[in-house]
Amino acid sequence: MREMMPRRGAEHLLRRLPRHAFLLLRDLGRMADGQRVGLYLVGGVVRDLLLKRSNWDLDLTVEGDGIAFARLVAGRYGAGVALFERFSTARLTMSDGTKVDIASTRRESYADPAALPDVRPARLEEDLLRRDFTINAMAIELNGAHWGCLHDPYGGREDIKAKIVRVLHAKSFVDDPTRMFRAIRFAERFGFRLDATTHRLLKQAAETNIVAQLSGPRLANEIFMLLRERYPERALAALARLQLLRFLHPRLTYSRQARLLMTVLPRAISWWERQCPTKPIDRSLVWFMALLEGASSPTIIAAIAERLQLSTVQIRTLEWAGTHTGHASDTISGSNSLRPSQVYRLLKDMPNEAVVLAMAKTLLCHDRARVGRAGRRLVRFLTRDRQVLTTVNGEDLKQLGLRPGPQFKRILNRLLTERIDGTIKTAVEERALARRLVAASLRAGQVGATGNRSRSFRTGR
């Protein structure tokens, strides 16, 4: 079925794209005419044009040889190109940074649930049928004769009007279990609901173990995409209702503490962005750390990281979830006598995402005095103390006669502590303290002298 839009209406729809993208699609349509292949804008960008939402991903499909067409486009525009010939797709990076995905129209079949698909050439209607939901199964023709024609064989436009997420066939979730997570994501993003059949099929699929067959990276990708949505807590609540969290770990729950944290997490993230506008954080990782408040031990957190095959950086950050950030929150919001150097020692190795989570835990106490203390201490740590360095280093200590050993670290740590606390403020004062500390160590006979004192150091170079 082909739904025809008047040229004027189609032009208006495509003109919602940035001008450079509109002109690029015009030119690519002419190139497709010259090659006698059909060219279509497909997928989420078509949906979002109808919804009047910003989405400038240029996802194109070709009725013909998509790889050959992608090479032609790359040659004409001098674009970088990455080919994925197994799936008949290519990704182009234009000189201005614009990304263009080009694929051949194809049908897909699945030898096993959750397996990657086998791909064969097909017509446009079959290509649209392989997609996840009707709202993502529309295409806009870019060839000159039918420029702007909307192809909507499965009623996606009507489902957008009705605010419905609908699968295209009964085996959709079995063929690709990641669609369970995407159904939740799109419903929460757009304020849509699942139609009755889709909801029933999703619930049935969730009761099976097919999600367990997904690779770690595929499952992680879906989880973190959910957490990048505007209201991640809604999607997480849906995962919990469907008992899908068990595929991260059988003992992971959407705990009361996690739910409470998520009520204040947006405030903590906004606080970070105001205080550290040049230091972006991985928001999705912060939300994930909050979810892990439902994990009862570091062992479970480690098992979840292993299941998802997370990166070394992500794993190091997740190690701070749970009791570590709770202890930091209690400490920095507590005693008035806490020195800046003590805050520094507590937080110096803490990833930024963990600092945000610690602030969120502080916000939960609803004690203005404690929250104020924690905020002031964190701001000082982030904007001042984290950057403090000593002017004296190990070479300077050797010049004062100290042999390398444990005393080096002790003395340098003492100098840094005094700098952070403000008891010494200048390089001259720091060097004077270094001399006294080295002299005390030598008198105590804890280390031997090198006999290599530097006149330039002693005179305050």
Q: What is the pLDDT of residue 453?
A: 46
Q: Taking residues 388-417, report their average pLDDT.
A: 91
Statement to judge: residues 216 and 252 lie in one domain = no
**CA 428/CA 391 separation, integer angstroms:** 9
**CA 155/CA 135 separation, integer angstroms:** 8
List strands edge to edge, sheet with 89-93. Answer: 80-84, 89-93, 99-104, 58-63, 38-42, 139-141, 150-151
Q: Look at residues 189, 206, 138 and name the one whose alpha carbon lies nearest to residue 168.
A: 138
Q: What is the tens place of the pLDDT at every residue in 311-321?
A: 999 999 999 98
Yes or no: say if 330 and 373 are a contact pair by the CB < 8 Å rule: no
Statement to judge: residues 129 and 23 lie in one domain = yes
For residue 303, give Cα distances in angstroms to 252, 307, 430.
11, 6, 46
> 411 Cβ partners below 8 Å, 6+ apart?
397, 402, 434, 437, 438, 441
- Residues above pLDDT 90, as percent of the chain: 77
Q: Between 393 and 449, where is the model more confident? A: 393
CATH of the domain at 217: 1.10.110.30
Q: What is the pLDDT of residue 114?
A: 56
Is the pLDDT at 224 greater than 90? The verdict is: yes
* Residue 233 belongs to a domain: yes
Q: What is the tens place of the pLDDT at every residue in 355-384?
A: 999 999 999 988 899 999 999 999 999 999
Residue where a domain terminates, one of 162, 186, 208? 162
Q: What is the tens place of the pLDDT at every residue in 26-73?
A: 999 999 999 999 999 999 999 999 999 988 889 999 999 999 999 999
**CA 49/CA 177 separation, integer angstroms:** 27
Structural domain for 409, as ranges: 394-458
Q: What is the pLDDT of residue 457?
A: 47
Q: Taking residues 187-201, report their average pLDDT.
A: 97
Phi, psi of 118 (to 5 degrees): -90, 135
Q: What is the pLDDT of residue 356?
A: 97
Residue where a domain terminates, one of 200, 224, 243? 243
pLDDT band at 387 (very low <50, low <70, confident <90, very high): very high
Q: Look at residues 183, 178, 59, 66 and name the one whose alpha carbon lies nearest to residue 116.
A: 178
Statement to judge: residues 13 and 152 lie in one domain = yes
* Residue 2 belongs to a domain: no
Statement to judge: residues 43 and 145 lie in one domain = yes
Residue where a domain terminates, one of 334, 367, 387? 387
* Residue 1 belongs to a domain: no
* Residue 299 belongs to a domain: yes
Statement to judge: residues 21 and 114 lie in one domain = yes
* Residue 144 belongs to a domain: yes
Q: Taking residues 445-459, report their average pLDDT.
A: 47
CATH of the domain at 112: 3.30.460.10
Statement to judge: residues 34 and 64 lie in one domain = yes
Q: What is the tens place of the pLDDT at every residue in 255-275?
A: 999 999 999 999 999 999 999
Q: What is the pLDDT of residue 109?
A: 64
Is the pLDDT at 344 greater than 80? The verdict is: yes
Residue labelled with tokens 């173990």: 209
pTM comes to 0.87
* Residue 198 belongs to a domain: yes
Q: What is the pLDDT of residue 85?
A: 79
* Residue 412 belongs to a domain: yes
Statement to judge: residues 11 and 158 lie in one domain = yes
> 142 Cβ partners below 8 Å, 6+ apart?
25, 26, 28, 29, 32, 39, 40, 41, 60
Q: What is the pLDDT of residue 113?
A: 64
For residue 202, give Cα distances in angstroms to 131, 179, 244.
16, 9, 11
Statement to judge: residues 257 and 383 lie in one domain = yes
Statement to judge: residues 354 and 408 lie in one domain = no
Tell me how crowded residue 272 is: count the other CB atoms within 10 A of its CB.
23
Statement to judge: residues 216 and 331 lie in one domain = no
Our count of domains for the chain comes to 4
* Residue 167 belongs to a domain: no
Residue type, 255: S
pLDDT band at 185 (very low <50, low <70, confident <90, very high): very high
Mean pLDDT (the chain) is 90
Statement to judge: residues 229 and 262 lie in one domain = no
Q: Taking residues 200-214, report their average pLDDT.
A: 96
Is the pLDDT at 204 greater than 90? The verdict is: yes
Phi, psi of 164 (to 5 degrees): -125, 140
Q: What is the pLDDT of residue 11?
A: 62
Q: What is the pLDDT of residue 12?
A: 76
Q: What is the pLDDT of residue 459?
A: 40
Statement to judge: residues 265 and 378 lie in one domain = yes
Is the pLDDT at 121 greater than 90? The verdict is: no
Print the SS3 string covering the chain: CCECCCHHHHHHHHCCCCHHHHHHHHHHHHHHHHHCCEEEEECHHHHHHHHCCCCCCEEEEEECCHHHHHHHHHHHHCCEEEEEHHHCEEEEECCCCCEEEEEECEEEECCCCCCCCEEEECCHHHHHHCCCEHHHCCEEECCHHHCCCEECCCCHHHHHHHCEECECCCCHHHHCCHHHHHHHHHHHHHCCEECHHHHHHHHHHHCCCHHHHCCHHHHHHHHHHHHCCCCHHHHHHHHHHCCHHHHCCCCCCCCHHHHHHHHHHHHHHHHHHHHCCCCCCCHHHHHHHHHHHHCCCHHHHHHHHHHHCCCHHHHHHHCCCCHHHHHHHHHHCCCCCCCHHHHHHHHCCCCHHHHHHHHHHHHCCCCHHHHHHHHHHHHHHHHCHHHCCCCCCHHHHHHCCECCCHHHHHHHHHHHHHHHHCCCCCHHHHHHHHHHHHHHHHHCCCCCECCCCCHHHHCCC
Adjacent-strand bridge partners of 193: 164
Yes or no: say if 177 and 114 are a contact pair by the CB < 8 Å rule: yes
